[in-house]
Chain A
Amino acid sequence: MEMTRTIKYEADRVKGFGEEVMSVPGCEELKDCIQCGTCSGVCPLSIYMDFTPRQVMEMTRFDFKNEVLGSKTIWLCASCYACTVECPRQIKITDIMYELKQRAIKEKVYPRGLPTPVLAQEFTKMVHDYGRVNEILLATKMYMKTNPFAAMGMAPLGLGMIKTGRFSMIQEKIRGRADLARMLETVDEGK
């Protein structure tokens, strides 16, 4: 049996990563974490995670950037905010998860095969380009890019939606798209 070292050396840390995340507005409280595990205890999805939310918090604080950004946990977060509501240190855990997700996308280190990162990117792209989201198109795009065969399984549902007139392939657009693009650009620059 092959043995792998699990020890972490100082070189495995990406020094400054934790500080950087904690300097983002809304993420500062992470400094106060007492590792009590309430976040994991209330998280409905923690049962599927490779690291519990508590572990992600500690790993972020101690600069284990590669492990955190590569973890499935941040993509399993369903943004139910239970952890944020219950945290005794009022850490905005869901917001930190978003911050980590953005960084994972930017650095293209998210785990392959998971539909959520693709969905997230397509969603923002759609908002950027049109100012409106069409769920049908969004779901279609996600399936095409991740698992086209899975889309076949959804065919009966699609047919049902067509029958009831809830299946629109028309992409709605807002009028001031250029203004929106400028606003979003400013937001992105501010990061």
Chain B
Amino acid sequence: MQSTKENTRIGFYVCHCGHNIAAMVDCADVAKYVKGLPNVVLSRDYKYMCSDPGQELIQKDIREYNLNRVVVASCSPLLHEHTFRSATAAGGLNPYYFHMVNIREHDSWVHTDRGEATAKAKALAHAAIDRVAFHKALETKTVKINPDALVVGGGIAGIHAAMTLANAGKKVYLVEREPSIGGHMAKFDKTFPTLDCAACILTPKMSEVGAHPNITLWSYSEVAQVDGYVGNYKVRVKRKPRYISEERCIGCMDCISQCVFKEPKFEDEFNEGLGKRKPVYIPFPQATPQIVVIDPNVCLNFKRAKGPDGTPIVSDKCKKTCVEACGDKNAIDFTQKEEIKEIEVGTIIVATGFKTFDSKRIPGYGYGIYKNVYTALEIERLVNASGPTGGEVILREGKNPDGSPKHPKSIGIIHCVGSRDKKTNIWCSRVCCMYSMKLAHLLKEHTDAEVYNFYIDIRAPGKGYEEFYNKLLDEGVHFIRGRVGEVTDWAMTPEEEGKLVIRVEDTLAGYVRRIPVDMVVLSSGLEPQADAQDVRRLFNMSCGTEGFFLERHPKLAPVNTFTDGIFIAGACQGPRDIPDTVAQAGAAAAEALVLIDKGYVEQEPNTAFILDEECSGCKSCVPLCPYSAILYDETRKKAHINEALCKGCGTCVGACPSGSIVQNLFEDEQIFSEIQGVLAYD
């Protein structure tokens, strides 16, 4: 295999990378060795090949020495393959006549013996020299990008990403699972550390989304299927029946007041079950879209009336006063069925958010056992002026002697519930310290109670966060460093009678203490959504061990996923607060805009193709392709690879029994000559 093509003229460069390579590899010796190999016209060692002079050297040599192949031995192709391919192209050659050898990550960084490391560098260089002779000129293909975008999830991340894209003039589909957009943020009372009202800053954005001409808002809907590839995704969206015509409902809510249920009687999801709603309802006053929903599980009309396929059917069990109230608008449609919408988009932003840790999983804290133990989200609704109590902090259990509702005089806030615990979630949920302090401030403001925070460590690393902590200390909120052992109603002293007792070690004082309180607030941590795994599969993304969606690179590609054209934003990637979420949503929108405004994507030409005359049509390759890029052509009885979908993984190449699939840049003679080259050095 030594005798390659007659007129192959190879230029070889070995990079010192400062001391990174030169300290462990004798670069001059490698250059000398390569000089003696067949077809090598020149061989140099140089301090930094990636520098401008290094790249110019390649270009100059190509012209002066009439080179037609270039090999650089330096770092990982991930870092600089593109750099050197560009330099090769600038020198007048097809960029795929270049080949790169990794003698840093694969050699100098992982070895301790200079002699052996140098020998390995020579062997790797020899392999590249033998291989590059078989390289062919390849063309980069381009694929057009559909300018429309899909945003999944209507929390603050999805809202911000959709608004950014829409304001840039792009058409956006915003899909939200719940009847209204707003997500968790809509439930919050105030936001830390500035204490601006969450609704005041969020709801204007929500109505902007609802009214934006470039945004198609589909609430009460879920993405059912995603096909295609970057720039050309085909998405099927399931629109759940809300039994109200979105076109005809004007949001007057007459149907709600006229419902046969005079009083709200069913658990209100938006208020965390603290309030009640009717079967026909709007989640909260500023809900977007302002369209009511009918809950078929409790609506009398649907009650116990199920069709043969299990779906609710119209019955005569109810007087249908809502229909009467709606009158000419005729917006109520009990026969509405689930609908599937098909759309085509070029980019997708996934912003599906988080769920809070189920505090019942830690029975020692008494949630669900003692009525006066609350979750933080319940407190958000309790202190909210539009919440179930109008912002009055009333205990669930216990009344004053005169029968009036009781207000707490002492409150314990337990941090890290479910977080930083190997038994539940090992990660720090990042926002709990700050929201606990915010709730401590609000509860103190509302009730003037003694407020205790039980924390392991206070994590306040954001802008203005440490100042907020300081403000709370000034306000007289108590901080006790210790993870609470248990919450009990078992009194040991008279002062503990009728109270909830928090047993904790004050680790700074070194005392075990029992602190009686009227109200316990559990700062539950953040977790991936229950169906995060299904969503991950739907969009072909990856998850970390904890179940949050995985970014392509934790530092340098934080909103990209491993699937091109699909981006992530917000707490679906990991716990984060509102400022970080908004920043990330903006970044995701910007990354999507990069693709949209460029209009096309270049595709690495390392795709596979089928040699028609040799394909027997056995279909072995079809089910193996992880990107569904191979189709079987029934008329010709041959397999066919869609180049736009092929990612160059090589699975089909290895699997083809007749060897009729070839992959660019990984052709048999290239691979075999590379193997021979690496074995040639002794």
Contact = CB atoms under 8 A, between A and B. Distances in A.
Interface in B501-515: 503-507, 510-512
A41 B486 contact: yes
A107 B420 CA distance: 37
A116 interface: no
B258 to A, nearest CB: 52
Given A42-B503, A55-B510, A86 B422 contact: no
Contacts of A47: 512
B90 interface: no
Interface in A32-75: 34-43, 46-47, 51-52, 54-55
A90 interface: yes
B423 A52 contact: no
Interface in B406-430: 416, 420-423
B421 A88 contact: yes
B204 interface: no
A89 interface: yes
Interface in B477-499: 481-486
A35 B507 contact: yes
A42 B486 contact: yes
Given A37-B506, A39-B505, A89-B422, 19 more contacts: A35-B507, A36-B482, A37-B481, A37-B482, A37-B483, A38-B505, A40-B482, A41-B504, A42-B364, A46-B505, A52-B505, A52-B510, A52-B511, A54-B505, A54-B507, A55-B510, A88-B416, A88-B420, A88-B423
A47 B503 CA distance: 11
B260 interface: no
4 interchain residue pairs of minimum CB distance: A41-B485, A40-B505, A37-B505, A88-B421
A43 B482 CA distance: 14
A88 B484 CA distance: 11
A75 to B, nearest CB: 18
A81 to B, nearest CB: 14
A115 to B, nearest CB: 23
Contact of A41 (B416, B421, B484): B484
A107 to B, nearest CB: 26
Contacts of B481: 37
B507 A86 contact: no
A46 B484 CA distance: 14
Interface string A1-43: 0000000000000000000000000000000001111111111
Given A36-B456, A37-B507, A41-B503, A86 B485 contact: yes
A69 to B, nearest CB: 19
Nearest to A36: B483
A34 B420 contact: yes
B505 to A, nearest CB: 3
7 contacts: A34-B420, A36-B456, A37-B505, A46-B512, A52-B512, A88-B422, A88-B483
Interface of A: 34-43, 46-47, 51-52, 54-55, 86, 88-90
Contacts of A46: 505, 512
A42 B457 CA distance: 19
Contact of B456 (A34, A43, A86): A34
Interface residues of B, number: 22
Contacts of A41: 482-486, 503-505, 512
Contacts of B507: 35-37, 40, 54
A54 B504 CA distance: 12
Contact of A38 (B457, B485, B510, B511): B485
Contacts of A52: 505, 510-512
Contacts of B503: 41-42
Interface string B221-241: 000000000000000000000
Nearest to B455: A36
Contacts of B364: 42, 86
A44 B203 CA distance: 50
Q: Interface centre among B364, B482, B505, by most A CB within 10 Å?
A: B505
Nearest to B483: A36
Contacts of B504: 37, 41
Nearest to A42: B485
A86 to B, nearest CB: 7
A41 to B, nearest CB: 2
A55 B485 CA distance: 16
A173 B507 CA distance: 48
A35 B505 CA distance: 10
Nearest to B456: A36
Q: Interface centre among B456, B506, B511, B512, by most A CB within 10 Å?
A: B512
Nearest to A35: B507
Contacts of B512: 40-41, 43, 46-47, 52
Contacts of A36: 416, 420, 456, 482-483, 507
A38 B506 CA distance: 10
Nearest to A53: B505
Contacts of B484: 38, 41
A62 to B, nearest CB: 15
A36 B364 CA distance: 16
Contact of B483 (A38, A43, A55, A90): A38
Contacts of B456: 34, 36
Contacts of B416: 36, 88
Nearest to B484: A41
A40 B483 CA distance: 9
B256 to A, nearest CB: 46
